[in-house]
Amino acid sequence: TTLSFGNTTAGATPAPISERVTVLSNHPAGYALSVQRSAFTPSDLPLGLQASAPPGGQLGPDFVGGGIVAVPIAPSNAIVGTTQGPSDAAGDVWPTNVGFAAPIPAVAPGRYAATVTFTVIAR
């Protein structure tokens, strides 16, 4: 999926963009969903994520409270949430908002890109 925040200026915080992450897992002990970013130019832009848990899911400690959390740069990652059992047959939908954890710093004009990776790990 490609997301665009449009044009913005230094000191602004663009509105987050809704993105849904669907997980299909049949592992009886559940799974953990993590997130990280890579290929981000410039690397100091404060990309962030806000998440909600689906039924049967529990948010990771950084995401409790509903605020936008800075997405760590690979190889680090943040646990978005976990489950204690397999996903729903149609998949568990984790509602997220991709945005910025702080106002945009002064950067040269141009296009900027990031790769946000969600990883599912069996528990």
Q: Along the 123 residues of the chain, how does pLDDT read in single tens digits?
A: 788 888 888 889 999 999 999 999 999 999 999 999 987 777 778 889 999 999 999 999 999 999 999 999 888 999 999 999 999 999 999 999 999 999 988 877 776 778 899 999 998
Contact indicator for 49, 55 with CB cutoff of 8 Å: no
pLDDT at 22: 97
Adjacent-strand bridge partners of 70 = 48
pLDDT at 66: 93
Determine whether 91 is exposed, middle or buried from the number of CB atoms within 10 Å of its CB (0-12, 13-18, 19+).
Answer: middle
Q: What is the pLDDT of residues 21-31, one digit of tens each?
A: 999 999 999 99
pLDDT at 98: 95
